[in-house]
Amino acid sequence: MIPENNMRTERHPLQPFLPENARILMLGSFPPPQARWSMEFFYPNWINDMWRILGLIFYGDKHCFEVKDEKRFNKEAVVEFCERKGIALYDTACEVVRLKENASDKFLEVVTPTDLRALLAEIPACKAIVTTGQKATDVITSSFHCEEPEVGAMRTIVIDGREINFWRMPSSSRAYPLSVERKALYYKALFTFEKLL
């Protein structure tokens, strides 16, 4: 169905990444347009700092997931890291309308939210969901009728009888006004609390 504004709906181009041992499910809003991708995986935009944040926390090197002398991330290294650490990845929307041809959450209209209960059912060891932006946080609060945690904080929510820690992290987008190093402090606290670090 084409929305009234005559803009096309866009379906999520990636399958959920759900390692069997996943203890954390990280949720963004929706991938940027594919022209902005530097790899075929989550947080693919070269100017998104998620993999630099995680490189800094786990290896003390914000460039460790980058391919040297190329503006792209090393997908194989990223996937191996997430599988080993038990980090699942997806987004809170599986279908959107992009009001502008960019990666900004404020120009995304969610048409179909992701069935998060179904994702969690596939990763029974998961104890935490982590939102990495405001749009993703809004989808969680409306889906599960819970209050939004402050940035960097967590609340425990119950989903289908299962206690889940709901973390709200600063966005890894450069539009979010904090340095990579400051963002890494928030994420480090999360990974330490959830015993992944």
Span 24-68, pLDDT tens digits: 999 999 999 899 999 999 999 999 999 999 999 999 999 999 999
* Angle (nearest 5°) at CA 75 between 72 and 79: 150
Query: What is the pairing mode between strands 108-113 and 9-11?
Result: unpaired
- How many Cα atoms sit within 13 Å of 69 on the Cβ side? 0
- Evaluated on CA atoms 139, 31, 125, 73, the torsion sign reads negative
Give the whole-angstrom CA distance, residue 85 versus residue 78: 11
Span 148-181, pLDDT tens digits: 999 999 999 999 999 999 999 999 998 888 999 9
* Domain edges within the chain: 9-193
Query: What is the pairing mode between strands 153-159 and 24-28?
Result: unpaired
Superfamily for 9-193?
Uracil-DNA glycosylase-like domain (3.40.470.10)
